[in-house]
Amino acid sequence: MYRNTPNRCCARSLRPVFILLCDNHRLVGVLALILFLGISFTLPETALGQSGVTGTLTGVVQDQNGASLPGVTVTVKNLETGAVRTVATNGEGSWTIAALAVGTYEVAFEITGFRRLVRKRVQVEASVPRTLEDKLELGDVDAVVNIVEGASLVTPETATTFRQLSADDLVTVPTSTRSFTQLLSTEAGVNTELSPVLTNSNGNQSPSVNGTRTTSTSLFFNGIDATNITTNEGSLNDNIAPAPETLQEVKLQTSLYDASTGRSGGGNFQLVTTPVVSNSMRLIPGRSRWTPAPRIPAALLVPESRMSPIPAL
């Protein structure tokens, strides 16, 4: 039935090949479908495409008197992507959610008989377990207690010595070669030569961390070991030097780091790039949400009246 439909613009012999191209209505419909699927798949979904670097949130929930509260539902929501993970506190009132993508989170605690507690803007950083200690108040579960400040600066779960720079620090403070290595050399125990100016090299500095050789430093790029990317040693002089605008977070761990992040005795640089959405929009640190995906312009959509009816088979 489909094949036998007379078609004005195609010669009969060419019809099998050109049937799609000749039928204007159908062609536009197919193109619109492709466009729609393409846009709807690329826009929000690429926003979800997080880098492979993860951190951990952990904590203890107690009641007002300091007794541990088992069975509290802890909901962790990524403010950038909307991804939600839930866990219940154990018999000691403690909870852990590992492998959370780096970013800003909202953490909610809920159990019957207590007021709901919401922690807004909790930062999850690469390879740093953050501890939240919360006390729930007796009351109606619908009454919400909001805590705006994030997790405590002290991280009792890890002994790692590190310094972390945000995207803002990297862009704001003048560094003569625009390399992430320069500002991190202000960390205690790190020393390096004065940074060069007017250089044609990548401008990275390979610091000596706690007296180790300058080649003992390792580099992780979005969770991937990028230490030996061009040379067979840990020197950063010949390694990647991404522009500061492309980095979301930069960290240098100098001592007592976790075995999973340490490679050699020196320091560990960790770079996390800014996730990028199509349309070259990006998440601006400090803003809680992605800019909403633009609507498909009406001109690109085919009015329903002009669409061909789906042929019966």
Least distance to other proteins, CB of residue 73, Å: 38
The answer to whether residue 299 forms part of the interface with other proteins (CB under 8 A) is: no
Q: Which is nearer to other proteins, 127 or 216 (CB)?
A: 216
The answer to whether residue 131 forms part of the interface with other proteins (CB under 8 A) is: no
The answer to whether residue 213 forms part of the interface with other proteins (CB under 8 A) is: yes
The answer to whether residue 248 forms part of the interface with other proteins (CB under 8 A) is: no
Q: Which is nearer to other proteins, 56 or 206 (CB)?
A: 206
Place of tokens 């492998």: 99
Q: Which is nearer to other proteins, 69 or 165 (CB)?
A: 165
Q: Which is nearer to other proteins, 1 or 198 (CB)?
A: 198
Least distance to other proteins, CB of residue 151, Å: 23
The answer to whether residue 243 forms part of the interface with other proteins (CB under 8 A) is: no
3 state DSSP class of 76: strand
Site for other proteins in 132-191 (CB under 8 A): 169, 172-176, 182-183, 185-186, 191
How many residues sit in the footprint of other proteins (CB under 8 A)?
22
To the nearest 5 percent, what fractions of the chain are helix, strand and coil? 20, 30, 50
Q: Which tokens go with 33?
A: 């479908």
Report helix angle 24-48 to 15-22, nearest 10.
70
Least distance to other proteins, CB of residue 287, Å: 11
Q: Which is nearer to other proteins, 5 or 279 (CB)?
A: 279
The answer to whether residue 294 forms part of the interface with other proteins (CB under 8 A) is: no
Contacts of 268 (CB under 8 A, 6+ apart): 217, 218, 219, 220, 252, 253, 257, 261, 262
- Distance separating alpha carbons of residues 121 and 119, to the nearest angstrom: 7
Least distance to other proteins, CB of residue 166, Å: 11
Least distance to other proteins, CB of residue 37, Å: 28
From its phi and psi, is residue 203 left (phi > 0), alpha (psi between -120 and 50) or beta?
Answer: left
3 state DSSP class of 22: helix
Least distance to other proteins, CB of residue 105, Å: 25
Helix/strand/coil (H/E/C) assignment for every residue in 237-272: CCCCCCCHHHEEEEEEEEECCCCCCCCCCCCEEEEE
- Distance separating alpha carbons of residues 207 and 184, to the nearest angstrom: 9
Quick one: CA dihedral 258, 264, 266, 267, positive or negative?
negative
Interface segment toward other proteins; rule CB under 8 A; list 30-38, 85-93, 128-136, 193-201 = 193-201
**Interface with other proteins by CB under 8 A: which residues?**
169, 172-176, 182-183, 185-186, 191, 193-198, 208, 211-214
